[in-house]
Amino acid sequence: MSELLPNSQINQNLLPNFDSIPTFIGSTFEFAHFCSEQLNAQTSCSNVLRRLVSMLSDWFGVAEVVYMTLETAHSEQKRRTMKFVNAPVMSEAALGAVRLALQAVTTGEDDVRRGFYPIYAAGEVYNCAQFDESETQRGVLIWRESDSPKIGQGAIIEGGTVNFEEVVDFVVRTAQQSAHWLRRLDNSQALLYQDEVTGLYNYRFMDVAIDSEIRRHQRFHLPFSLLFIDLDNFKQVNDVHGHLTGSSVLKQVGVQILGAVRDVDSVIRFGGDEFVVVLLGATTQQALMAAERVRSCIDAHPFVSEGLGKQIHITASIGVACCPEHARDKATIVRLADETMYLAKRGGKNQVIMVNENELQDDDYEPASAKNRRETP
């Protein structure tokens, strides 16, 4: 049995009366502490789900398990691939019957049901526990206990009869509470990293994205590339058409950039009329091709002024820097992409230029980073 945690580390409001089941106290308290650690570490609730299934498997045996998401508005069910240690994934034959039984139970429910509950499908009893996903979704963990449980129902442990339903209900509710706050934390972080004007990632997210790719390169030697994009003569758009049109055009530019790169790439509004794209796994040649797609999409698109319907022509200058060819650290690759973008503007605008060390030795060079990045249109 796990060693008991100090009372100071336990939320007393979460604890039912476990006087008759001392053998499980250490494990259940430990799980509550684990969930608290997940919140402190700001990790995903997948860790909580995996630990929950692991405990159920150790105590009772799990014959099969699956995690599904429900679209609450349409009662649509989707199976999510999630591997659980020592817990077989539910078979396709059982999954169909479980879907029907689950739909009958959850139809009309607007909120996540707390605790766990049984459903009956194909002559078997399955346990279900719901979890927060989003405003329109909730997740459901579904498992069937082993036909040969590791601990028999009504077992006598240290002189007391174990109420297994109370034990399972406690750990499930603890996991649900942890998942609830982790989801709210995810939503808060999403707002923290979202640009209010374009809906893209904002400058705060750039460090997160590049740090992630630096670590990926160090571990797996995978390349990545950076595009620094500056709209040409954008000040004239604000001066002639007003700031509402400027904001609208920036949003339209974001849509064009998103359409020119892959879903896995990160598109960031760095500030003002500048954008950054982090291209995952992109070599120098692939980065040049992506940058040219972005440039040509912006150049060819008829942007529309806010409320007036007038078409506005916009072009962009783009600098490209790649890891590991040009730099292997965040500060250098950002600086090189920034400097090269400035060279593209000085060289005539509406063009793509990749890092060339010989071109960066200009005494008159003034980096674009000297501009006010946080200026809004």
Flag whether 1 is in a domain: no
Structural domain ending residue among the three candidates 162, 192, 222: 192
Helices 164-192 and 46-59, packing angle to 10 deg: 170
How many beta carbons lie within 10 A of that of residue 98, not counting itself?
A: 26
What pLDDT sits at residue 187? 63
Flag whether 198 is in a domain: no
Report whether 60 contacts 164 (CB < 8 A). Answer: yes
Flag whether 62 is in a domain: yes
Flag whether 377 is in a domain: no
What pLDDT sits at residue 337? 96
Query: How far is residue 94's CA from residue 97's CA, in Å, rounded to a whole number?
Result: 6
What CATH number does residue 338 fall under? Answer: 3.30.70.270
What pLDDT sits at residue 367? 42
Flag whether 2 is in a domain: no
Residues 21 and 143 in one domain: yes
Which residue range is the domain that position 58 belongs to? 7-192
Nearest to 360 by CA among 343, 374, 377: 343
Query: How far is residue 278's CA from residue 267's CA, in Å, rounded to a whole number?
Result: 7
Residues 170 and 313 in one domain: no
**42: helix, coil or strand?**
coil
What pLDDT sits at residue 209? 87
Residues 258 and 170 in one domain: no
Flag whether 138 is in a domain: yes
What pLDDT sits at residue 306? 74
**163: helix, coil or strand?**
coil
Structural domain ending residue among the three candidates 192, 221, 245: 192
Flag whether 183 is in a domain: yes
Instruction: Report the sign of the C-alpha dihedral through residues 230, 232, 235, 239, in that order.
Output: negative
Domain count for the chain, please give it. 2
Structural domain ending residue among the three candidates 160, 192, 224: 192
User: Which DSSP helix (H) or strand (E) runs through 128?
Assistant: strand 124-132
Residues 84 and 217 in one domain: no
Query: How far is residue 273's CA from residue 167's CA, in Å, rounded to a whole number?
Result: 56
Nearest to 178 by CA among 47, 304, 45: 45
Residues 209 and 183 in one domain: no
**294: helix, coil or strand?**
helix
Residues 71 and 35 in one domain: yes
What pLDDT sits at residue 69? 83
What CATH number does residue 100 fall under? Answer: 3.30.450.40
Residues 11 and 80 in one domain: yes
pLDDT, one tens digit for every residue, the chain (377 residues): 333 333 333 333 433 343 433 445 456 656 666 666 555 444 567 778 888 888 888 777 888 999 988 776 555 666 666 778 778 888 888 888 888 888 777 766 667 788 898 989 888 999 999 888 776 678 889 999 887 666 644 444 444 555 678 778 888 888 888 877 777 766 666 667 888 899 898 998 899 889 888 988 887 788 999 999 999 999 999 888 888 999 999 999 999 999 999 887 889 999 999 999 999 889 999 999 999 999 999 999 999 987 777 899 999 999 999 999 999 999 999 999 999 999 999 999 999 999 985 554 444 434 444 343 433 34
